[in-house]
Structure 1
Amino acid sequence: MSTLVAVLAYGLADGAILALAALGFVLIYKATAVINFAQGEFLLVGAYMFYTAFVVMGLPLAVAVVVGVVVATIIGILVERLILRPMVGESPISIIMVTIGLSSLLRALVQMFYGTSPKPMPKLLPTGSVNLLGATVPINRLLVILVAAVVLTAFTVFFRRSKHGIAMRAVADDQQAAMTMGISVRRIFAMAWALAGVSALIAGVLLADISAVDQNLAAFGLLVFPVVILGGLDSVPGTIVGGVIIGLLKQATGTYFDPGLATVIPYVVLVLILLVKPYGLFGETRIERV
């Protein structure tokens, strides 16, 4: 029982971070139909931006968070305006190659300014542990789940209740109809990239706090792809379900079987879902006449 409780705690924490990272991916895809292969690097950049504000510049925690959010927003808008907007009308494969190039560029910039060695950062969350049903569970893992749940709830409320959130959903459903209603599609595109940057920042900071500020953050971000394929490329609830499933499956595989297999099993799930249910668990099935 104690092992199961530990697997659930660690798996849910990883799944919560993956859901946050995948949320940005889905936002971009729903609003702009762009598959962003640089989402993992968004986590990396977000974590290092917060590290710069909090550790290098010595700003208070609250101010460092605000600085990180502002920088993440600006990066998202600049990427959309300067890199993706000129690609409107180009073939999907060309846009995919651009995002792959963007991921390499962001990783190279981080390595150029910060090097490749891990950076020490004071822990933001408590480092103690609690006893749950006989299992010793780190408090920071439980708080990661709580913080991610609050953030995901806030995003959900934003999409369902706010004017801009409703506009984003309208653009995701039908861009032409949204334009006829006076919605600025270009502004929504920029907002989608900005929110993707913010969600990646939060995910990156949480992941860095329970692991380390290093290049492995981008590798963890690659797990976004199994998450969004499992949940559905265009489904926000699917990112939460997909993140939880992948997080738990990865942790359970590493605990009960082999840690090496745990790094592979998410991509096995990705292949199986593409073969059996290519639109994911909650994705919208699209039937096109050819």
Structure 2
Amino acid sequence: MELFFNLLITGLVVGSIYALLALGFTLIYKSTGVVNFAQGELLLIGAYICLHLTVSYRVPFIPSFILTFIFMFLFGFIIERIFLRKMIGEPIISIIMLTIGLSSLLKSVVQIFWGTDTRVFPKVFPSEPVNLFGIKVSQVYIYSVISVAISLVIFSVFFKKSKAGVAMRAVASDQQAALSMGIEIKKVFALAWAIAAVVSAVGGVFVGNINGVNTNLSQFGLKVFPAVILGGLDSISGAIIGGVIIGILENLVGGYVDPLIGGGAKEVFPFIFMIIVLMIKPYGLFGTEEVEKV
């Protein structure tokens, strides 16, 4: 049982980070209809920016974290303005291919500036584990879950209560109707990319504190894809729940199945589970079913 609870807690931490990344995916998809394949690179850049400020400029972690937020928010705006704005009205497949190219470009820029070696954050969180229901849990895990939960609550309130959040929901529901009501679609698109960059940065900083920072962090963008599809591409709550489910399942499979077969199941199982769910519910667990009349 101790192994089970250790795997469950680790899966919850990873799953909460998946949920943040899935939220970024969903925001962009709901607002623009585009699947962003550069989400993992936004996570990567956020982690490196915070690490660079903390290590190279000796900025304390909390101010570095806040400065990373600000930088990534502006960076998301810039990406949308330079690369995506001119693609409005173009075929969706062209925009998706652009995000794939953007993924390679951002990863190459990271390698030029910081190389490929693994770097570690200085000691930020207390090393003494916390006894949780008889299980010793690293404090970085606890802080990660709490921070991610707070972030998700803040964004949920933002979407429901703020004027900008309501505008984003309106655009996601019907772009033509939103445009007729005076909502500036281009600004909503830019805001969606900015928020997606911020939530990716939050995930990147905590993953970096747990595993170190290197270019392999960008793979989280692909690993979180089953969570997005599982929850439903256009469902924010589905993205969160899907992220947690995939994180827990991935760690349980890694702990119980990988030792029996020599490894590999942990990476493959989320995609297998995604396929099984899609065969039963093609729009995901919480996705909106579209009925096309002919």
1:127-206 maps to which residues of 2 (within 5 A)?
127-206=127-206
Contact 2:37/2:221 (<8 A) preserved: no
Match of 2:271 among 254, 262, 267: 267
SS at match of 2:293: coil
SS at match of 1:141: helix
- The reply on whether 1:87 has 2:91 as its aligned counterpart is no
Compute the displacement of 1:92 (Å). 1.4
Gaps (5+ residues) in structure 2? Answer: none
SS at match of 1:222: helix
RMSD across aligned C-alpha pairs, in angstroms?
1.3
Contact 1:128/1:140 (<8 A) preserved: no
Q: Distance in 2 between matches of 1:42 and 1:243?
A: 18
Q: Which amino acid aligns with 1:224?
A: V
Q: Distance in 1 between matches of 2:79 and 2:276?
A: 33
Compute the displacement of 1:289 (Å). 2.8
Percent identity, aligned pairs only, is 48
Q: Distance in 2 between matches of 1:86 and 1:289?
A: 32
- The reply on whether 1:74 has 2:74 as its aligned counterpart is yes
Match of 1:277 among 278, 281, 292: 281
Contact 1:46/1:205 (<8 A) preserved: yes
Q: Distance in 2 between matches of 1:98 and 1:9?
A: 37
Match of 1:3 in 2: 3
1:220-231 maps to which residues of 2 (within 5 A)?
220-231=220-231
- Matched residues, number: 290
Match of 1:211 in 2: 211
TM-score (norm 1): 0.96
Q: Distance in 2 between matches of 1:86 and 1:127?
A: 48
Contact 1:229/1:273 (<8 A) preserved: no
Compute the displacement of 1:128 (Å). 2.1
Compute the displacement of 1:284 (Å). 0.5
Q: Distance in 1 between matches of 2:252 and 2:172?
A: 35
SS at match of 1:233: coil
Q: Distance in 2 between matches of 1:84 and 1:36?
A: 11
Q: Distance in 1 between matches of 2:35 and 2:98?
A: 10
Contact 2:39/2:200 (<8 A) preserved: yes
Gaps (5+ residues) in structure 1? Answer: none
Contact 2:120/2:208 (<8 A) preserved: no
SS at match of 2:74: helix
Q: Distance in 2 between matches of 1:128 and 1:105?
A: 40
Q: Distance in 2 between matches of 1:135 and 1:65?
A: 29
Match of 2:29 in 1: 29
Q: Distance in 2 between matches of 1:127 and 1:237?
A: 33
Q: Distance in 2 between matches of 1:245 and 1:133?
A: 21
- The reply on whether 1:49 has 2:49 as its aligned counterpart is yes
Match of 1:255 in 2: 255
Q: Which amino acid aligns with 2:194?
A: A
Q: Distance in 1 between matches of 2:9 and 2:25?
A: 25
Compute the displacement of 1:163 (Å). 1.1
Q: CA offsets, 1:117-175, max 9 Å, x none?
A: 01132133333212333322222212211111111011101111111111111111011
Q: Distance in 2 between matches of 1:153 and 1:46?
A: 21
Segments of 4+ moved more than 6 angstroms: none
Compute the displacement of 1:111 (Å). 0.5
Q: CA offsets, 1:220-270, max 9 Å, x none?
A: 231221010000001110111101110010010011110421111111122
SS at match of 2:62: helix
Q: Which amino acid aligns with 2:187?
A: R
Contact 2:41/2:221 (<8 A) preserved: yes
Match of 2:124 in 1: 124
TM-score (norm 2): 0.95
